Chains A and B, each alone.
Chain A
Amino acid sequence: MTAALRRYGWSYVFVLPTFALFVVFTLLPVVQGLALSLQNARVTGGEFIGIANFVTLAEDPVFRQALGNTILYTTVVVAAQVTLALVVASLIQPLGARSRVFYRALFYLPLVNSAILVAIVWRWIFNANPFGLANTALGTIGLGPFLWIGSSDQALIAVILSAVLTIPGGGVVLYSAAIGSLPRELYEAAEVEGAGPFAKWWHITVPLLKPTTLYLLVVYTILAFQVFERVYIMTNGGGPNNATITIVQLIYSTAFQFGRYGLASAMAVVLFVMAIAVAVVQFRALRSDVEY
């Protein structure tokens, strides 16, 4: 016993602080979160009710709205982010080293700020009043004024636009690093065959970047699934007629405004399953990549 302690004791001393915190504040909560989703948990405890919460969710028009909004937001925003990151990184690459450093910093700078700060500004830009900035800008080309966040048709568009109009700096940095490590020989071979810059990019660069593309698709998708601050700030937590309500916004209000912890936990489990599904698809896609 003492021999084992002397041999392994220090290892446990090194691991235990982190591992104990991880068990109490991550591992057990995950298990409890899954258990709560099967309970009728309100402010004062609850009992096991099987999958009743999930049945309730399936029939609840507000949850369906939240699910639909989240998926729409994710689809548009992730497609835009990955495309923008790829194009910007590809444009940066042929420039000199100093330009590359400058542009990476330029595109990363807006992202060091919190979603709250960013959303505060976007709320002001997409203000329903005619003096809102988006309305003024579009007014100069004869469009609008639009109600934006004040309208149930346009509020989600404003939220999506606010996300799309920011260059995804993290993606630019990752793509940029990946492009820098691609083998030069392939390009030289293509040049011998007379391929132009666009052909080289489309037929060599883009396919070779597939692992990075898949990684970014997954990370950005899981992040977009969790969109909350933008909605909370830009549209007071859901917008007119729940036009911008998202899953996380609904989890927050269901649990912490209405005290229906079991139902909110069931929503979190749905979110969890969505994240797992995306991760599995990525894993499959990467594996099929190895096979051919």
Chain B
Amino acid sequence: MSSISRRLPVHVVLLLAGVVSLFPLYWLFLTSVSPTQYVVRVPPEVVPRELTVANYQRLFETTPIVRWLVNTVVIAGVITAFHLLFDSMAGYAFAKRRFPGKDVMFWLIVSTLTVPAQVTLIPVFFILRTLGLLDTYPGVILPGLADVFGIFLMKQYIQTLPTDLLHAARVDGASEWQVYRRIILPLSRPALAVLAIFTFQRYWNAFIFPLVILRDPAKYPVQVGLATLQGEFNTDYGMLMTGAAVAALPMIAVFFAFQRQFIEGIRIGGVKG
């Protein structure tokens, strides 16, 4: 009893902080189901008086939001799939194999870690222009395959796997590919789950690269599409907030489904934003 009364103020403080932190999200969903006249009301209604789907109707009828969502799923999904394959392969080689040039390659990768993405933004734009990939899906996807976080994550994890297992498999006649496919991959599942979630979240939320690379609004991912719904002087806030709510839902669902991997990912991979 005394412990509860001692902890109560702590819970109150933490819950208040949580409410403030979550408020923008609440406001987003609240506005999306509020009639337009309440969106610009004085004072704003924090608890809804009337619910409507009018904003959703307007959003789906007048904007290519569905197309944008599909684009985002494809772009983030393809990038994630390739990272899972390539990073686990490279992580295995860097963790468990010896070959000439290994240290130089790894050192090169490490040396670019602190480079802010904006340094490569303009050159990548030039390279894509030379390759004729501006305003194409491959143009958005290829640069996304080049970030090195996943190589590290997989190398760190695969290093902890027992090397004896690999030797035993080779003695039993397993080919090098089978060692990777049958032993490394299945044992790396926890790290792969973390990598999948981090990568998908990162490219679901990506903004500046697709903004620069894509011109055709039909190819936009949802974040870039939403930004174009905002006019400089008059903006349909009801619709804009509804679009944001629709874009938020999938990530929130992913979070609730894979909470443990999110938290684990921060512990293994650090804060990524």
Contacts and interface: CB of A to CB of B under 8 A. Distances in A.
Contact of B122 (A24, A130, A174, A264): A264
B89 A14 contact: yes
Contacts of B247: 114, 117
A13 B89 CA distance: 8
B49 interface: no
A219 interface: yes
B126 A32 contact: yes
A115 B122 contact: no
Contact of B145 (A21, A33, A113): A21
Interface stretch (B55-63, B106-114, B160-168): B106-114
A274 to B, nearest CB: 9
A33 B119 contact: yes
Contacts of A169: 21
Interface stretch (A53-61, A151-159, A187-195, A265-273): A265-273
Nearest to B246: A117
B21 A167 contact: yes
Interface string B167-200: 0000000001100100000000000000000000
Nearest to A106: B18
Given A30-B115, A116-B205, A120-B241, A25 B120 contact: yes
B263 A215 contact: no
Interface residues of A, number: 97
A219 B266 CA distance: 12
B74 interface: no
A27 B108 contact: yes
A108 B271 contact: no
A117 B24 CA distance: 9
Nearest to B197: A112
Interface string A250-267: 011001100001001100
> Is the contact region of chain A dominated by helix, strand, or loop, or is it mixed?
helix
Contacts of A166: 21, 24
A19 B125 CA distance: 20
A91 interface: yes
Contact of B259 (A21, A105, A174, A264): A105
Given A27-B108, A103-B18, A121 B119 contact: no
Given A131-B44, A223-B273, A122 B120 contact: no
Contact of B120 (A33, A117, A171): A33
B204 A114 contact: yes
A248 B24 CA distance: 24
Contacts of B251: 112-114
Nearest to B245: A117
B137 interface: no
B262 A112 contact: yes
Nearest to A218: B114
A10 interface: yes
Interface of B: 7, 10-11, 13-14, 17-18, 20-22, 24-25, 27-28, 31, 40-44, 85-87, 89-90, 92-94, 97-100, 102, 105, 108-109, 112, 114-127, 142-143, 145-148, 151, 176-177, 180, 201, 204-205, 207-208, 212, 223, 226-227, 230, 232, 237, 240-241, 244, 247-248, 251-252, 254-255, 259, 262-263, 266-267, 270-273
6 nearest CB pairs, A to B: A114-B205, A25-B146, A29-B123, A170-B271, A11-B99, A29-B120
